[in-house]
Every structure is written in structure tokens, then in C-alpha cells.
Structure 1
Amino acid sequence: MKFIKSLTFFSIILWFQFNYSQDFSNLWEGHFSFYEVNDVCVGQNKIYGAAQNAILIYDPQTNQINTITTVQGLSGEDISTIYYSEISERLLIGYQSGLIEVYSDVDQSVLSVVDIVEKQNITSENKIINHFYEYDGLVYISTDYGISVYNLDQLEFGDTYFIGDNGSQISVKQTTIFNNEIYAACYYGNGIKKADLNNPNLIDYNQWQNIAYGSFLTISTFNDKVYSVKTDNSLLEIDGNAFSTVLNFEMLPLDGEISESNLIYTAANATYVYNENLQLVNSFQSSETSSDSFTSAIRLDDNVYIGTSDKGVIKVGINNITDYTEIRPSGPLENNIFKLDATTNTVWASFGEYTSALNPYPITSKGISYLYNDVWESLPYDSLFQASELNVITPNVFNPNQVFISSFFNGLLEINNFEPTILYNETNSGLESLILDSDPNYVDIRVSATEFDVNGLLWTLTSFVDQPLKSYNPISGNWQAYSFSDLIDPPSEENGFFDIEIDNNGTKWIGSYDNGLLAYNESVSNNPLRNINSSAQNVEAFTRFISLAIDNNNQLWIGTTKGLRVLYNTLGFYNDPSPTLSQIIILEDGIAKELLDDQIITDIEVDGSNNKWISTIDSGVFYFSSDGQTTIYHFTEDNSPLPSNTINDVSLDSDNGIVYIASNKGLLAFKAGGSKTEDTLEEAFVYPNPVRPEYNILGFNDLNDITKGVKVSGLTDNVNIKITDIEGNLVAEAQSNINLRSSNANYNFAIDGGTAVWNGKNLGNSVVRTGVYLILISDLDSFETKVLKVLIVR
């Protein structure tokens, strides 16, 4: 039996030079997946592995892993190949889009090369970078349009060769050079072509000779011979214009590398290592019981490193075929996270998904990932009672170790202390399956949103059933169902639901597929189920109500497929004969415009300052003031480390002031700095304390950088804070909801929810001197007070 050791590492951050319109690099942290590695290479006695859109760097001498991600300057696009140049000490990263990025080991910088991306005469599907081959200071870049030459010393492009018939664009998978001739392995029946490297006119397709016919995937110069893999599973040896078959593979190799005097070929299920005489040194097989497949392989010293589709990089001794070690930075199972929850001391991520039409097909069977104590762990699908399409994650507010995860196909999963406990379905709970007239035995329980109320009841929504709203008591085990038949016809394709929020009155607000915004309150005796779904109520036709959030003023913020709406009077909803949703109107260059007009809004989250984080399907993520009139941040792939503008979900860690943003290409964490407010000042504290000279955190002007300044945390909702020196002289002062950290007023001292930030400057705008300073906190509602001390050493 194969023995696999799991060697998972923290990602050790490398700092790179890159430019965004605003530099927030020190406030971001990437949580990318490294399970799928599509290419590996060796450089400076280290292993480089290319994941979907990030790079891992493994040092075999120290067992240390570093990563290069969008936080350090990568684009976030899909990587197709990598190559390390020992001469220039640079890593070349090729992308499916044609983008090339050059990472320098010398100054740890990332240079983006966009020449191929911007070529107008090449279609986008032909721009993929297939392979890099270095020779005499030049890199020959194989693409699906031909070959381009890049000068590594000057960091600029030379000629481009279109070598198909009549100068057409053809797919070149790899190139190599032997006896001063360049060989190209071409795909789609275009054979192997070669040309004299000294020919000054290689841009003329007539100068390229076709020496073999068929489709070829690799070509390598090895031990003074040229070898190429043909798609009929044969390995050809090329001698001038002649070629012969030297062996046949059981499965077609997709990658070929020269490494440590070995010729290494990698197929989906095996890696083959040959010596200089083309004798098989060893072969390594992928697991017969796993879905993993091999993608590429190289050798360093006595070990072979194999890129895989779902285990990262595996390390195995050259003479050992049983003892595999997995090499992978800590990260979630996949980059495309569908739903998040960071409201407890654990970040949960799910990967099931359904469309805006509430269609989960094709059914995906994936596990769950969670971040706990700074390490990512995963629960495999087989351990989750085979619950598919897992989506919304809801920890029990009274027992954070108990977590419920909705399945949009199988019901509701309960996890306790990170162990799957039970899957609630039609056989053991109040949940019910939709009914198909054509198949009475068909079971499909589409649970989407879940939410706990203040009494500890878990409320669930199930689409396409007669009683979609249900409550569950985790203590007693009792279920109760509520029918919507008074308002909605019996189950139909339109009887679907996205989200649920519960306000201070106990009203359940429900976002629906085709019935607008619904409200249900079982304590209302007269017509407890109502909705807003007409043009007179500011609801356009075919609007889907996807995301809901109750803010700190008990106002309901609503994200739809047509933009943003707000229901301001939730408390008076049942007394209002014609409740109406409102747009937020802002002034832009003096012109009145609707905020987020026509945007598809995927999530809304409210922080401790009542500000709103709003994610969109194609415009990134926004951070608005409490009333929506001020845009504090707008993060996109162009001005931040976000790898995509498609944001699936957002969740707030209100204890630590961290915003987790799930895009379809990776998870990012932004240190926003605010926190939730507390009920009392009992736990208020100041940090860092003492403030030492080496901290270098005083005197800055932008309080939005939470890594700087003196912080006071554990504040209540409405406080006044005075800072004085030891003699009682006022140094700084701030008040909740007035001195807002997110404002443009350039305060020296400001408050964000339960956290205040002071930049160490006094009323005269000078950095204070060494000494002890008193922090006098007064709750303006309860009149509770607290005094803290902080020592500043300069």
C-alpha cells in the first residue's frame, strides 16, 4: 500500500514590488488553493509549482514553503506554464491569456509583459503560453499561434514566427535547439518543423522545413539527440530529417522535461524517468483509488517532484515508489469558493453552487474547508454523508462549535467540533423533497439560506416545496413548518428562495426567485406572510432578490439582480398598507444617480460602524458609509490583489476587523480594522503597549492603515474618548459616529465600531513625546467609564 505523508505548510509571505492605484499590500492576505498544480520546475535548488493562479516555492533543505500570489503582484489569471532561468535568476510565468510575468529572485519584483495579450492580429484563444525554452540569452515561447522570442537580458520581445502553411498561425507545444537548429513540436496535425537558427529570416514560414507529420506534444534535446512525443503514444528519436520510434507509452505523456540528467515524461496516471541511455530508471503511478492525476514532474537531487490535480506537489525518492510526501501551502480545497462564514473564530468555506435560476445541476460533490488557528483543514466529501452542493454556512450563535451547512440537493448538514454529525433529510427531519410527477421516488431537498434567531431557533428555506420555511430547535430536536400557500401557488419552478434575515422584531425577511421580498412573522395574527413585488413598490419585473442584510438601525438592505434597494421602515412594515423599497441616490459630478444601478449584488455585510460591504457579480466589492452616500473603498482586480471582479461572497470577522472576500478565483482577506461593539467597557484595552521606537507606527496621516497607530478596542456603541498626558493636558479626542475613521477628514484620532485608532499626534498635529498617556473612555448612553494607560517611547 502506498504510504502518503501530508506535509502542509503555512504560507510565508514574500514581499514584492508592484503598483496599484492605492497601495494596500500590507493590509491583504491571500488564501489561495494549492491542491491543483499544473506545472513544476527547478531553480536555485528550489522547487517551483504553478497552481491555478499562484506559485509555491519549496526549499528541500529547510522544508520551508513560500508563495507568490496576487498580494505580491501576480495577475490572478490562469497559469499555463512556468520556467526558471538559472542564468538570469528569474521565474517566467506563462498564462492562458498570453500574459507573461517575470519574477526576479534578485529584487523580488514582478514584471508584467502584455505584448502578446495586446497583439491585435492574434485571436485570444490562440494566445496561450505553452512552453518556455531558453538558449543563449533568448527565450523561445511556444504558443497556439506560433513562436515568439523574448530577450531576458533586455526584457523585451524580438521576432515572432508564424510557421504554418502560408504563414498561418498554428499551435506549437514545445521547442528545442540542437546543432544550431530550432525544432518545433506542432499540434493539430502540423508535425515537427525545424529551421536554421542562423537564418536571419525565420519570420518567413518558407524557411521552416516540415520533417514529420502528425500531432506532437513535446520535443527535447537529450544526450545529443532530439526526442518528441507523438499523440499516438510513441516516442520518436529525430536524426536530421529522419526519425524512428524508440518506444511506446501505455498512456500519452502530456509533459516532457530534462532534469538531473534524466528525461522525464508525465502522463495523467504515471511519471516515467529515463536515464541517458533511455533506460527506465523508475515509474511512479497515481493512486487507483483517488481522482488525482499527474500534470508534470522534475527531479532535484534524489527526489522526483510531481505536480498533481488534487494533492499539490508530491515528493518521492528516485528509488522509492511507495513513500509519497504531499507538499502544499495551507489553503482551501479550491479557489472558487461559493459561500463563506467568518463570524466565529473559524473561517468556513463551501464549494457547492447553484445558478441565479436556482439550478444546482450538474451536481458537484466537494468537501468543506475551514481556517482555524491560521491553518486550513478540509473535510472530504466522503466524510460529509455524501452531501452535495453545500452552500450557506451558519454557526450556532449560542454554540459556535456547532455549524449547520445547507445542501441544495441533500438537506442540511450538522457539524460539531469539526466532525460531521448528521445529515438532515426527508427521513429524519421536517425537511421535504421537491416532487417530480415523472418520478415519485426522486429525492431533491434544496436548502439554501439558514439563520438563527435570538431564541436559538434555526430557520431554514427550502425551494420548490409546499412549506418552504421551517424552524429547528437544536436542543429539543423539534421541527416546525410554515406554508406560503396563502400568497404563493403550490410548489412550482418559481417557488424558490435565496436568502433569509431576521430583524429585531422577529420578522423573517426572505429573498425570492419570482415573488419579490417576502416577510413572515408568526407572532402577527393577521396575515403574517406578506411580500413586496410590484412596480408600484419599486420592484422591476424579473428581479431576483439574492442577498439581504439587517443593519444596526434595523433597516433592510437588499441585493438584487437589478441593483440595490433598502426597506427603511422594517418595524412599521405590518402597519404600512403599501410598503415601498427605496433606491439610494448619490451625486456623481453633480448628477443624481442610483447607487449600484443594474448591478447583480451577491452579498451585503454590515460592520460595527454600520458601514456596508457589498459584493457584485462583475464589478468587485464596495465598502460604503452607513447611508451609502460615500464610497470608502471600491476594490477590483485592477486596483487591489483581487484576482477577479466576480465576487461570490463576503464575510466579516468582527472580532479582528478582517473582511474575507471570496472571488471565483481565490479568497482574499483585507484587514479593515474595525470591530463589533461590546455591551460594556469591561474588556476595553489598548495596544500595542508600550509603543516602542522600532514599531514605527506613529505620525502617519491615513488612519485606514490598521497596521499603524495605537488602537483602543472593546468599545461600546456610543463613546467619547479623551487622551491626555500624565499632567491632564488634552492631547486628542474622538466620539463615536462623529470622528469616523472611514471619513476623509484626516482625523488624528477616530473610531470604527468597537475600535479607535490614534496616530500619536496631538492637537497641534505633532507626534507626542515619550511618556505615559491616559485614555479616558466614557459611554454616553450608560455613563460607564474606563481609564487606560499607554506608554510611548520615542
Structure 2
Amino acid sequence: MIKQITSVFLFLLALSSHAQDFSTLWQGYFSFYNIKDVVVGDNKVYGASENAIFIYDLSTNELETLTTIEGLSGETISTIAYSQTYETLLIGYENGLIEIVLGSENNILSVVDIVDKQTIPPNLKRINHFNVSDSLAYISTDFGISVYNLERLEFGDSYFIGNGGSQVAVNQTTLLNNVIYAACGNNNAIKMAELSNSNLIDYQQWQTLGNGSFLSVESVGNRLYAVQSNRVVYEISNGGFNALFTYSDLPLDTKAVNDNLVITTENNVYVYNSSFDALATAALQSDLNTKFTAATVADNVMLIGTSSIGVLKSTLSNPTFYEVIGPEGPLMNDAFKIEAGNDNLWVTFGDYSASYNPSPIRSYGLSHLVEGQWINTPFESLLTAQNLNYVAVNPFNPSQVFISAFQQGILELNDDVPTVLYNQNNSGLETITANNPSIRQSGSQFDRNGVLWTLTSRVDRPLKSYDPSTGQWRGYSFSEIIQDPINDEFGFGDLVIDRSGTKWIGAYKKGIIGFNENGSKIRFLNSEEQNMPDNTVMAVAIDNNNQLWIGTRNGLRVLYNTSSFFEAPNPSVKEIVVLDDGIPQELLFNQFITDIKVDGSNNKWIGTLDAGLFYFSPDGQQTIYHFTTKNSPLPSNAIKDISIDAQNGKVYIATTKGLVSFYSGGSKPEEELSNAYAYPNPVRPEYDILGANNLNDINKGVKIRGITENVNIKITDIEGNLVAEAQSRVNLRATRSNYNFAIDGGTAIWNGKNLANNIVASGVYLILISDLDSFETKVIKLLIIR
């Protein structure tokens, strides 16, 4: 039985894979403030946040990051360790995954043996600690101990050291005088065994020292120390336990670094020599508003991980002055809503439940990415606004931003400074009742006239408009379809406005609501007879053809004829049917859809609760991409929100475990052709961008930016011979037609091939752009050198 269990761990190479680097088209925006562990190796600090690593060079102060973009899994990190001998960083995860970062090139090897081991319950696979000794790493887990060979990159034996060979949680191991010691939880005390014993897979070869549960065990010099769950640190000598000190808080991290013992609690870091003489104590200062999580030392430098502000750098000689080190990023990884545009990104973390329940109240801050720099505003500066969610940027004054608070109303910011909190006292917003002062504000959207439209849940007039230029508020009643606003409808989420001014609203019970104040027209769809798969609508989007795309908890629907919605006798929505191996299938059947966004080419980006991100052609018939954690740097398949920066085609994706962006390469069409240009120009041989068959790789080909919505573009040689041609709405880039020249919104991409499918020769080429609506034209010269 023991041999069968152990043998599985001998096949590492078959169960390992080198991670893929996605840095060409993807970018990550991870939070590095909640530190899980911190270690030092080769004069570099390795800080592990929730699911990413940053590396800080103590000599040069340079920073670099390792995230899902570079190939990390995105899972939740539990511990890290560094092998000086092999220049290797070991990363352990809560789900049992191990990732090994190899050498100066930071090549990442994923080791899934423990994750895939069927005989170990998922809740026992957590990696608790790495004890690196020469070529071996002793891995403490919630099932026991596994041994990993760093030279051969393969597993050796695994030790199940509980009574009868049962699986017990091992929190930490250490070696002293050729003996391995294991600190065990669940009242399994300290286990020990001689390393020279060739039969350590036999639990009977292990002895038990003491009693109770132990958090850690470390050897420093020739002495052995252990921390018990009663907050007492002991020295173990000749099998006896000598109590040395009782900490006021539970020790969270214990490390032996050179000849020092470092013990961390949430309020203090204690550094001792091998004789347990105190060398330094760092105390948490009240103005930091955080907690310590882990710590280490390097010469005279002390490095302390925290729960909310990254890693603090101090000195052993004066541990009262702290310097914060670490990369910039958003306040948290679990973003709720995002809003992108004009190379800006706003991120909120407020949250409310799927049934629009704001409890528990989220008193979180706000993050804003502008020109590559993060501006993080703490909750204390947000005028008490809680549960922040939707963001609306004034199109006529981009420095003015309105953020819905699903508890207090709407927060206005000007130049990143919170200015006004709109509530029942200073605006047209309403509380639920006089006894319930909650103002549950959600979806907000500016119309083309610069008027803000916003939704309030559980009140008689849930739709409000606010004109920032005049300060005028108006409210619109939904009593025609909602008689009891407190009990008949729990809440509203997404809000979009179509080209006729109709507001489309996703509701919890009423499905999709259409409202137009011109004539006070209101109607809703939520029944099976109207082909709605669910009466809760999570996402709505208007596409470039004024068709309404609807995401529910149980699938996707489209309202094709929005213009006659209020007049049609029996309006209904349609599902999209696609052929899967010749068999008709409903697109996204029964999928919980969390968001829908439309790009410049009328393609659809659709997020789901657990199936990742989909990118569809305008009619939904072609799946251009389906991104998941297995084929992309998405840190999670749970998509919270999507936002597209129309100016540069960058698609931002918020997941439950972090924020990333994908550079799709499209852009928003311009009003006229005066600013159209081609790049790179000239095209030099060293660029190596010509000839790619896949126009979706935006690092290849010649791009033409700044074109209008409906154009025809011809490329000729200097003698006037036609080389390539593309037209808006016909030659769409993101299709399976394998065009050599295609258009995505305000950007056209040419792979450098002619009509005969050959790469063109060196020379001057003319790009002739004609607007098919306004008849405006523009000619651009392009030089190609091969």
C-alpha cells in the first residue's frame, strides 16, 4: 500500500510543463500589497503576493514581476523558498501546485503531481513550507511530507507520518544533526526521524516529541526551536521542551536565516541569534494601518511582508524607520467594476451579491491607472462612500468622474479628488424608506448630450438623470411595471443607451427593461414565452447595428429589432444557433454570463462566471477566441467585468483573482481621415513583420490608424498596380477568412502580401483611403525595405 502511494511521485517529468510567456499581447495589473511570504536569495528580495511575485534587487533597487503574463498559474500562493545552489525559486500554492522559477531567465516549470494525485483529498494538498537542503526540498503539506530533487527535477518519496500511516498536516520541517523534524497540526506534536534511515516511508520509523499542535520548527546553529499553537516558543533539547517566551499574538511565520531566528506576528517581528538572544524587534506603527504577515533578514536589512501595503524595508540596527518596496498596482486583485478609455482605467472593489444585497458592507478604496501610473485612493478619503461599483466618466470633461455607491448614492471626483457625495440631502436620489437610509446606486451611463443616467434599486423612481452642466436632477417612475419597488424588484445592474435614446436596463426579476422618456414608454421581457432563459439579466450591450445583446444567469439572447420594441404586439428575444460538428447548438447554452462588451469591429466580448472569456464575430457565428486559465494569462475563469479602451483597442478583463488586458489591435473609428497614418513607416528588414497569415497578431503587419467608420482602402505600387484592398464591414480582421488586408474599427492591418499571396518587394506603396459616406479621401505613402 505504501509503495503504491509513493510511486506516483516518481513521474514528475511527465506531469510537469514549462509555462508559456504571454507578454507579447497581454499585460497584467496585479496587486502586490497583500504579501503571503518574503525571502532573500542572491541579494534579491522575493515577495509573494496573493498570486504573483515581485523581485527587488537590493543593490540596484530594480523591480521586476512574475505574474500570469510571464507564466505563473494565478492560483493562490501559500509559501515560497529560494535555493541559492540552483538559483531556483520554489512557489507553493494552496491547491497543491508547485511552480519552479529557474535561473536568471526566470523560466517557469509547473509541477502538478500533488494537484493531480487522486488519493489525496483536495483540502489536504496545500503547500505549507519548503525546507531546502543541498539538492533536496522537503515539502510540508496538509497530508504529510514529500521530497523533491532540485538537481534532477523529480519527486522522491512521500512520508505519511500519522498514526497507522495516516495523512496529517505538516506545517514545517527542519534538519539538525542528520535528523528531520516536522511540526504537525491537529495535536500530532513534533515528529522526528533519522535521515540515514532508508525506510522513512514507514510511519513506524518516526518518533513523536511532546504533544499538542505546532506551527513551526527551525534549527539555528546547533539548536532546535519550535513554536506551538499556544503562542509559546520552545527550545527542544534531548527530547525535552524548554519554554522560552510567550507571544501576545499568534506567530504567523518562522524562519531560520543564516544564524538568525526570525519570528513574525501580526504586530511584531522578532530577530534572535542562535542562542535566542534578541537582536532586534520591529513593532507595527499605528499609522501604517496594516498587519505583518512574514519577514526575513539579509545582513543588516530587515524585510517585512504586510497584509495591505507590500513589503517594508528596515534595518536591524534601527527597525523603527520603514521604506515601502514593491511594484505599483491596484489596491486589490478582486475588482468588481472597471471602466477604460483614453488610456485611463478606473477600478472599483465595492461589490454586492447577485441578488443585489450590499451586505457585508465593503469599505474599500478606489484605483485609477493613468499614463501607466496607479493612483490609489483609500476609503478614508472617499467621503464615507461604500460598496463602490459602476464608473461613469463625463465625456465632455474626462477629469470629472461619477462612481455609484450601493449604499450612500453617487461619489463625484474631480482630478482624482473626491468632491461631492450625492445623497437624499443634496440631489434627486432617494433612500429606500425613511427608516432605511440606504441609497443603492448601481448602473450609470452618460448619453451623447453629456447627461448622466443612473439606477437606484428599490425605490419608486429608480431611473434618474443628472446634467452636470446645469445641476438638474430628474426622476422617472417605473410604477407601470413595478407596483411594489421594495418587494417586486430587488435591484438593477447594467444600463446602456441606444442610438434612439432608449435606456436598456438589466433587472433581477423583470429581466430586460426598455425605457424612453419621450412618451414615457416602458416595457420589459422576462418570461419563457418571450424566449428569456432566465428573468435575471446580468449584462446588456448595444452593438453597432443597434441590436441589444442580453446576458442572463442561464444563457445569451439578442433583441434584434430594438426600434419597434415598444410598438410590437409580442416582442421576443432570439437565441444564437451555431453548428458544432454539423449539429445545431445554442451559443453559450445555460452559461452564467457576467458581462458583454462590443468592440470597434462590432465583435462581442462575453465574460462568464466559470468558463472564461469568449470573443465572437459580429453575429456570434464564429468564436474568434475562447480564453481560459489553460490557454491564456487569465488568473481565473470567473470574469467579473470587461472594458474596452476604444482609442487603442486594449481589452481589460477583471477576474476574481486579478486584472489583465489583451491588446486586440483595433481602435475606435475617427470622424474624419485627416489624422490617418501608417506604421511602421518605413518598414525595415529588422522589423520582420511581413508575411504573417494571422492578422490577429498585432505585432505583425503594417497598421493604418485613424480611419473612419466606413472606408475602402486600396494599396498600390508606385505605378498604380493594385496590391491589396479592404473595405469596412466586409474584410473584418477577426474572422476565419484569412484575409491579407482587413479592418477592425478605426484600424486596418496589412500583412504585406499582394493579390497573388506573395510578400511584396522593396519600394514605395500608396495607401488610398476613401470614406464611403462622406467621400473624403486621403493618400499615405509607405516605404518598404526588404
TM-score, length basis structure 1: 0.95
In structure 2, the CA distance between the partners of 1:43 and 1:262, relative to structure 1 (3 Å rule), is: same
Partner of 2:11: none
Among 485, 506, 515, the alignment partner of 1:511 is: 506
Among 552, 556, 562, the alignment partner of 1:564 is: 556
**1:364 and 1:291 mapped to 2: Cα distance?**
17
State yes or no: 1:293 paired with 2:286.
no
AA matched with 1:424: Y
Among 48, 51, 55, the alignment partner of 2:53 is: 55
The answer as to whether partners of 2:482 and 2:488 remain within 8 angstroms in 1 is no
Shift of 1:344: 3.2
Partner of 1:7: none
Partner of 2:577: 585
SS in 2 for 1:400: coil
State yes or no: 1:685 paired with 2:677.
yes
SS in 1 for 2:738: coil
Partner of 2:439: 445
State yes or no: 1:455 paired with 2:449.
yes
AA matched with 2:492: F
1:56-110 Cα distance to aligned partner (Å, 9 max, x none): 0000111111111111111110000000111111111000001111110144311
In structure 2, the CA distance between the partners of 1:427 and 1:548, relative to structure 1 (3 Å rule), is: same
Among 340, 346, 349, the alignment partner of 2:347 is: 349
Shift of 1:519: 1.3
**2:755 and 2:762 mapped to 1: Cα distance?**
16
Unaligned runs of 5+ in 1: 1-16
Partner of 1:5: none
Shift of 1:490: 2.2
Shift of 1:694: 2.0
AA matched with 2:657: K
Partner of 1:420: 418
Q: How does 1:272-421 map to 2 (within 5 A)?
A: 272-421=270-419
State yes or no: 1:772 paired with 2:764.
yes
**1:60 and 1:404 mapped to 2: Cα distance?**
42
The answer as to whether partners of 1:130 and 1:173 remain within 8 angstroms in 2 is yes
Partner of 2:67: 69
Partner of 1:668: 660
Partner of 1:702: 694
**2:647 and 2:43 mapped to 1: Cα distance?**
42
Among 446, 451, 470, the alignment partner of 1:476 is: 470
Partner of 1:537: 530
Shift of 1:171: 1.0
Of residues 122-131 and 720-729 in structure 1, the stretch that sits farther from structure 2 once superposed is: 720-729
Partner of 1:202: 200
Shift of 1:19: 5.3
AA matched with 2:240: A
The answer as to whether partners of 2:543 and 2:598 remain within 8 angstroms in 1 is yes
SS in 2 for 1:408: strand
1:308-351 Cα distance to aligned partner (Å, 9 max, x none): 10011111122123321111212111111110100233100000
Partner of 1:3: none
Q: How does 1:11-26 map to 2 (within 5 A)?
A: 18=18, 25-26=23-24
**1:230 and 1:54 mapped to 2: Cα distance?**
30
**2:532 and 2:605 mapped to 1: Cα distance?**
23
Q: How does 1:533-682 map to 2 (within 5 A)?
A: 533-540=526-533, 543-682=535-674
Of residues 651-660 and 210-219 in structure 1, the stretch that sits farther from structure 2 once superposed is: 210-219
Q: How does 1:251-270 map to 2 (within 5 A)?
A: 251-270=249-268
Kindly tell me the number of residue pairs found equivalent between the two proteins. Answer: 769
Partner of 2:518: 523
**1:241 and 1:494 mapped to 2: Cα distance?**
69
Q: How does 1:165-244 map to 2 (within 5 A)?
A: 165-244=163-242
The answer as to whether partners of 1:18 and 1:72 remain within 8 angstroms in 2 is no
Of residues 388-397 and 294-303 in structure 1, the stretch that sits farther from structure 2 once superposed is: 294-303
Q: Percent sequence identity over matched residues? A: 56
State yes or no: 1:712 paired with 2:704.
yes
Of residues 510-519 and 94-103 in structure 1, the stretch that sits farther from structure 2 once superposed is: 510-519
AA matched with 1:160: S
The answer as to whether partners of 1:187 and 1:215 remain within 8 angstroms in 2 is yes
**1:778 and 1:651 mapped to 2: Cα distance?**
30
AA matched with 1:636: T
The answer as to whether partners of 1:344 and 1:395 remain within 8 angstroms in 2 is no
SS in 2 for 1:781: coil
Partner of 2:428: 430
Shift of 1:769: 2.6
The answer as to whether partners of 1:223 and 1:276 remain within 8 angstroms in 2 is yes
**2:65 and 2:127 mapped to 1: Cα distance?**
22
SS in 1 for 2:399: strand
Among 492, 496, 505, the alignment partner of 1:501 is: 496
The answer as to whether partners of 1:76 and 1:643 remain within 8 angstroms in 2 is yes
**2:417 and 2:18 mapped to 1: Cα distance?**
42
Shift of 1:745: 2.1
In structure 2, the CA distance between the partners of 1:679 and 1:18, relative to structure 1 (3 Å rule), is: farther
The answer as to whether partners of 1:237 and 1:246 remain within 8 angstroms in 2 is yes
AA matched with 1:782: S
SS in 1 for 2:110: strand
The answer as to whether partners of 1:220 and 1:256 remain within 8 angstroms in 2 is yes
**1:300 and 1:372 mapped to 2: Cα distance?**
35
Of residues 760-769 and 570-579 in structure 1, the stretch that sits farther from structure 2 once superposed is: 760-769
**1:156 and 1:712 mapped to 2: Cα distance?**
50
Shift of 1:25: 4.3
**2:314 and 2:476 mapped to 1: Cα distance?**
57
Of residues 121-130 and 274-283 in structure 1, the stretch that sits farther from structure 2 once superposed is: 274-283
Shift of 1:24: 5.2
SS in 2 for 1:159: strand
Query: CA RMSD of the aligned region, Å?
Result: 1.4
**1:169 and 1:80 mapped to 2: Cα distance?**
19
1:224-277 Cα distance to aligned partner (Å, 9 max, x none): 111111122221111231221222323221111122432111111111111233
Unaligned runs of 5+ in 2: 1-16
Partner of 1:10: none
